[in-house]
Every structure is written in structure tokens, then in C-alpha cells.
A = this chain, B = another copy of it.
Amino acid sequence: MHDDDIANTMRALGHPVRLEILRILATQQQGQCCCADVTDSLTLAQSTVSQHIKVLLDAGLIERKPHGTRNRYYLRHDRLAELSSSFGGLLKGLAPVAANKETEQA
């Protein structure tokens, strides 16, 4: 993951509503959840929620699966893990040189 990608993902996470949406998705068993569920849990218009979802979608943090008349959204745990790793790498890169160890992984 490059700077731009990390920055992109960070920006997607850089909004409390989006964080909340991720949490809502995580709360559903199996992670299945449709837009209406999210909208019900927030005090925002459906179009706004849909827009936030799109941001998360574009950032690759969630996944959309059409299911009949509604869409289901899933957390992408793989990408979350990847982000975690990239973020860890970023922080390690920022750590003082003296404390730098050799624990790199991609």
C-alpha cells in the first residue's frame, strides 16, 4: 500500500459517521446489513447514508452484494487487516530510528 492509498483509506475513515457505519455493519451477525438498517440507526437522510457507503465502498473497506430487492453490505475483513498492517508499517516508519527493529511484512 502506498502513501496515496493509505491517505485515501484514512480519509474514508476520517468521518465519524463512516466509522459508525462500519461499526453497525460489524454488529450484524454474519455482517449482513442493508442500507435501510444503517439509515435507521443514523439520523441522516438515506441519500446521505448511501453516499457515505459509497465512500467506504470506493475505499474497499466494505463490499456490496445485491440480494433480491435490497443490497447487503459486508465488512471486508481482509482489507481491514491489510490496512492494519499498512498502518502499522507507517507508524513503524515514523518511529525513532534507534528503536527501529526488523519486523517488516506486507
Contacts and interface: CB of A to CB of B under 8 A. Distances in A.
Given A13-B10, A16-B4, A19-B3, A26 B75 contact: no
Contact of A93 (B8, B11, B23): B23
Copies of this protein, total: 2
Interface residues of A, number: 36
Contacts of A80: 91, 94
B22 A94 contact: yes
A6 interface: yes
Interface of A: 3-4, 6-8, 10-16, 18-20, 22-23, 25-26, 29, 31, 75, 77, 80, 83-84, 87-88, 90-91, 93-97, 100
